[in-house]
Amino acid sequence: LGIPVEERGPATVEGIASGTALLRRARARGFEGNSVEEVVASGKHRDLFEDMAKALAALCYNLSIGFHLEKIFFSGGLVKLHALYLPAVKKHYAELIQAFNPAFTCPLTIAKTKNQAG
C-alpha cells in the first residue's frame, strides 16, 4: 500500500483498517484530535480511507478464493462511516476477483447488526 514508515503499525488488515489504525496514522501526520469522527470532520486524511478500502478488499479477496463464500458482512465501530470506504472496497474487490476468477465473487454488505461486531 505504500504506507510511510512513520505511519505503520502492525502489518495486518486490523493494523490498517481499524479505527485505532486510522487515528494513529492521522496523528503521525500531525492530527491532534481524539477520534476517527474528528478526523472525518477535519476534512483531511481522506486517503487513509482509500488505504483501508484496499486492505479490506484484499482480505475479502483472500476469503473469497479460500472459502468460496456466499456473502461477506461488515460490522463494527467503523460501519457508521461505511460511505467513506465501502464503495472503494467493492471496486477494488471486484478488480481483484475478476482477475482471478469471477465465479468466486460474492456480495459485500453491511451486517444487520451494524456496529455490534461479531
Report DSSP letters for 1-38, one per residue: ----GGG---SSHHHHHSHHHHHHHHHHTT---SSHHH
- Asked whether residue 63 carries a pLDDT value surpassing 90, the answer given is yes
Tell me the per-residue pLDDT of 38-56, one tens digit each, with 9 for 90 and over. Answer: 999 999 988 999 999 999 9
The rounded distance, in Å, linking the Cα atoms of 44 and 114 is: 25
Q: What is the model's pLDDT at position 76?
A: 86
pTM of the model: 0.88
Residue range 70-110, pLDDT digits in tens = 999 999 888 999 999 999 999 999 999 999 999 999 999 99
Closest CA to 84 of 118, 56, 107, 112: 56
